[in-house]
Structure 1
Amino acid sequence: MAAILGGGLGGLSTGYYLLKNNLNSNNNLKLYLLEATNYCGGWIKSIRTKDYVFEQGPRTIRPKGVTGLNTLNMIQDLGLSEHITPIKPDHPAARNRMIYVNNNLYLLPSSLKGVFQKNEPFSKPLIYALYHDLKKPHKQLKDDSIYNFVERRFGKEIADYAISPMICGICAGDAKEISVKFLMKTLFEWEQTHGGVVKGLMKSLFSSKTGNELVLSDLARKAQEEKWSVYTIKGGLEMFPNKLQAHLKDNNVTMNLSTKVEAIEFVDSGSVSLNIQTGEKLSVNHVYSSIPAYCLASLVQKQHPELAKTLKDIPFVTVGIVNLYFATQKPLIKPAFGFLVPPIENSPILGVVFDSCCMPDQNGTVLTVMLGGRWFEEKFGKNTTSENLYNIAVKEVGSILDIKDKPTAFNVNILNRCIPQYVVGHYERVDEIRQYIKSNNLPISLIGSSYDGAN
């Protein structure tokens, strides 16, 4: 018997793959999934009406890399292929991504031609960043912040206006704190091994690729051939965890919602006791924890305080999400994915996503404003209200996009401690956590975004 802690996408996916591996090995595995709330899907939540969809968390999925292709394989297996809406390279949401600098919106280059042209707010064509990399000596380092790395290799403007806002968009974090291994591990390794990114790139072009080729579903193959930028799901991304949940139920996984685990007791190397809030105990042979690191820390605190401390050291940030719907049919925005705001602008918002351009079946104009992140408490204090965040969002959107209309409908959600921060030293910390588990022979596996990055 095994238990999965957490019914977010990480926990549901773990159940899916455990079932798949169990089917292939012909073992008789009994699985429990325990979720503290009455909802599966974690931060993925969609508000659907006949006119719009408000995504309160993620809205698109990247198809790139092994993880992205595996996800597409899973989506096809779940029967969701016909609901997928891809954003291809020629789509405005793929071509048009903007940053807000000095009270102006600037379009970031999206083609090879654009790299050779001068694009504000950059003072030179981006090709000069490659010259900067070629002439710059490298530092021998075990890790570095992504800001320091990019500034060193490509210059301060790239770090300030390209990478810093991108980190805000991906993990609502500060590029001056986030590990370069989070987003640019290969580029960092090229610098450390070959002395520069361009040199490393050139050498990689002549190196042979090894490893097992992933077996691709028709959907994954189509995403590769058509070079999808990202994709979403018609009717809301929530359909994905809903389908996963139904799949687990259909395959006899015991789904325990509104079930809060208060403590984990490791009896021996092959037995774990989960103490439930109701007073019940569940004994299993193995635990798969997909809950945030700080939640797991409280469960193992009594028996393994050293492990709990290291888990607590992984920082998380809070993000405010304000969804806005404008019923007017007149165009309020130019077609684009949206815009991000570099931290040097000292803005209360991280960026705005143009959902009515990125997502299908939207009438009127739908925008999502992201606020706070690494700077949430600094900008809004400890006890901000939904009304305050709404007012700030409407004011910023009105000023930046010159929208005079009042929203027809809106939704505000404060996602408390929702995104882990992969700060410098994060991967060494995760290795330390996993080494502790291995050394103490604890029957627990750590999965989810707390440890291995978001995709």
Structure 2
Amino acid sequence: MVAILGGGLGGLSTAYYLLKNNVNNNNNLRLLLLEATNYCGGWIKSIRTKDYIFEQGPRTIRPKGITGLNTLNMMQDLGLSEHLAPISADHPAAKNRMIYVNQNLHVLPSNLKGVFQKNLPFSKPLIYALFNDIKQPHKELQDDSIYNFVERRFGKEIADYAIAPMICGICAGDAKEISVKFLMKTLFEWEQNHGGVVKGMMRSLFKSKSGEELQLSDLAKKSQEEKWNVYTIKGGLETFPVTLCEFLKQNEVDVNLNTRIEEIEFVDSGTVLLKNSTGETLKANHVYSSIPAYSLANLVQKQHPELSKYLNKIPFVTVGIVNLYFAADKLVSPAFGFLVPPIENSPILGVVFDSCCMPDQNGTVLTVMLGGRWFKEKFGDDATEKKLFDIAMQEIKKILNIKENPSVYNVSILNKCIPQYVIGHYERVEKIRQYIQNNNLPISLVGSSYDGVGINDVVYSAKTQIKGDCIYK
């Protein structure tokens, strides 16, 4: 038996790919998925009514690259093709992405023409950033923060007004702490190997492409032909994990909710004992852990304190989410929303204009994101939902000039919800996996703690981990 810890998207995807591997290799492997709560889907949660959808976690998915296309392949296999709602490259939600600087909203350039024009808050056209990269001397490093890297290669304004708010939007983190390998590994390697990003880019043009070839589904091909920018699911993104969970149950994966594991004991290379909160012990041949690194650290601490210490070194942040529904239409201009650079010292990270980027929304629907890396600093240890709501409304009224109060709202405090890939993260993860290998432990790690925080990353992490585990090939 193979046990999967966690019923979030990482655990569900792991079960999905193990199931596919079972079928393809004519195996008869029993799969047991264990989820501590009464819900599968992790941080993906949708509140649905006839007038609006409140997304408490992610709301859109990018279709680009091998990881994005891989997710679309899964979507088609699950029968979700007709339920997807794409946003094309010419949609306002794709073209109009803003930042809030010096008490004003500024639209970031979204095409090549904009790169050659001066756009506030930047003092020069963005093309000048490339000249800055060309003249910078080489600096040899093992890793760096994404902020330092961008400031060094492209200038402080790009780091402050483009990269820092983008990191807030992706992982609610501080660009001065996040590893450059998190989003710009290729650019960093160009700098280290060729002395600069532009030099590395020019040399890469003459190299043949390599890497995994992915067989594309009709849905994945359609996304390329129609130039999708992002997409969501009609009725809420929660439809994805719910459908995936039902698919697993229909294919005899044993899904156990309200089953909290409190300790893991490794007996030998093919036996592991899982002790749950009721005193029952489950026996498995192998475990896939998709739960947060800090949760796994608690489970292995007794038998493997060194492994526990490594796992606890992956930090997480808490995010406040305030969903707002206004009955009036068009209270905001057509756009995806805006982010706030950390140098503005704002209590909010940004605002998503859901009624523009999601279908089936009446009135005006907004989502305010608060805290992240700065949650405790801004709100203290006793943050309440009322406090977050009051701050969100104060900022909304000031920035968007909305006078009225929402007809409906929802506040969620997502405690330790997003891992932070701080400098040295990938070396840290390698050390964790090396410890597991050296000690011949029957456990594999998947999920957002290790190989990427986005939906596509989590799905692809499960696929590649299972592919790499030769005992299940």
Name the SS for the 2:228 alignment partner. coil
Query: What is the CA–CA distance in structure 2 between the aligned matches of 1:62 and 1:277, rounded to whole Å?
Result: 38
Instruction: Give the CA deviation at 1:34.
Output: 0.3
Map 1:8-407 onto structure 2 (within 5 A). 8-329=8-329, 331-407=330-406
Name the SS for the 1:166 alignment partner. helix
Instruction: Give the CA deviation at 1:146.
Output: 0.0
Instruction: Give the CA deviation at 1:453.
Output: 1.1
Alignment of 1:448 with 2:439, yes or no, is: no
Per-residue Cα deviation, 1:351-384 (whole angstroms, up to 9, x for no partner) = 0000000100000000000000000000000011
Per-residue Cα deviation, 1:385-429 (whole angstroms, up to 9, x for no partner) = 000000000110010000001100000000000000000000000
Query: What is the CA–CA distance in structure 1 between the aligned matches of 2:94 and 2:23, rounded to whole Å?
Result: 39
Aligned partner letter, 1:106: H
Instruction: Give the CA deviation at 1:224.
Output: 1.7
Structure 1 counterpart of 2:417:
418
Name the SS for the 1:449 alignment partner. coil
- The TM-score with structure 2 as length reference comes to 0.95
Query: What is the CA–CA distance in structure 2 between the aligned matches of 1:199 and 1:230, rounded to whole Å?
Result: 31
Per-residue Cα deviation, 1:207-226 (whole angstroms, up to 9, x for no partner) = 01123421000111111222
Retained in 1: the 8 A contact 2:339–2:351?
yes
Instruction: Give the CA deviation at 1:128.
Output: 0.1
Name the SS for the 1:405 alignment partner. coil
What is the percentage of aligned positions where both structures have the same residue?
78
Instruction: Give the CA deviation at 1:293.
Output: 0.1
Name the SS for the 2:403 alignment partner. coil
Per-residue Cα deviation, 1:324-350 (whole angstroms, up to 9, x for no partner) = 000013x21000000000000000000
Q: For structure 2, which runs of at least 5 residues remain unmatched after alignment?
A: 455-473
Per-residue Cα deviation, 1:39-81 (whole angstroms, up to 9, x for no partner) = 0000000000000000000001111222111110000000000
Aligned partner letter, 2:56: Q
Aligned partner letter, 2:218: D
Q: For structure 1, which runs of at least 5 residues remain unmatched after alignment?
A: none
Query: What is the CA–CA distance in structure 2 between the aligned matches of 1:305 and 1:247, rounded to whole Å?
Result: 37
Instruction: Give the CA deviation at 1:5.
Output: 0.2
Name the SS for the 1:231 alignment partner. strand
Query: What is the CA–CA distance in structure 2 between the aligned matches of 1:392 and 1:453, rounded to whole Å?
Result: 30
Name the SS for the 1:437 alignment partner. helix
Instruction: Give the CA deviation at 1:137.
Output: 1.0
Retained in 1: the 8 A contact 2:418–2:453?
no
Query: What is the CA–CA distance in structure 1 between the aligned matches of 2:66 and 2:350, rounded to whole Å?
Result: 28
Structure 2 counterpart of 1:427:
426
Per-residue Cα deviation, 1:197-242 (whole angstroms, up to 9, x for no partner) = 1111111111011234210001111112222111100000000000
Query: What is the CA–CA distance in structure 1 between the aligned matches of 2:70 and 2:18, rounded to whole Å?
Result: 14
Query: What is the CA–CA distance in structure 2 between the aligned matches of 1:176 and 1:440, rounded to whole Å?
Result: 35
Moved more, 197-206 or 143-152: 197-206
Name the SS for the 2:450 alignment partner. helix
Query: What is the CA–CA distance in structure 1 between the aligned matches of 2:167 and 2:64, rounded to whole Å?
Result: 18
Query: What is the CA–CA distance in structure 2 between the aligned matches of 1:362 and 1:176, rounded to whole Å?
Result: 37
Aligned partner letter, 1:201: M
Query: What is the CA–CA distance in structure 2 between the aligned matches of 1:119 and 1:67, rounded to whole Å?
Result: 32
Name the SS for the 1:451 alignment partner. coil
- Number of positions where the alignment pairs a residue of Structure 1 with one of Structure 2: 454
Query: What is the CA–CA distance in structure 1 between the aligned matches of 2:111 and 2:179, rounded to whole Å?
Result: 28
Per-residue Cα deviation, 1:140-178 (whole angstroms, up to 9, x for no partner) = 001000000000000000000000000000000000000
What RMSD, in angstroms, separates the aligned Cα atoms of the two structures? 0.6
Instruction: Give the CA deviation at 1:82.
Output: 0.4
Instruction: Give the CA deviation at 1:270.
Output: 0.2
Name the SS for the 1:391 alignment partner. helix
Query: What is the CA–CA distance in structure 2 between the aligned matches of 1:256 and 1:66, rounded to whole Å?
Result: 32
Name the SS for the 1:445 alignment partner. strand
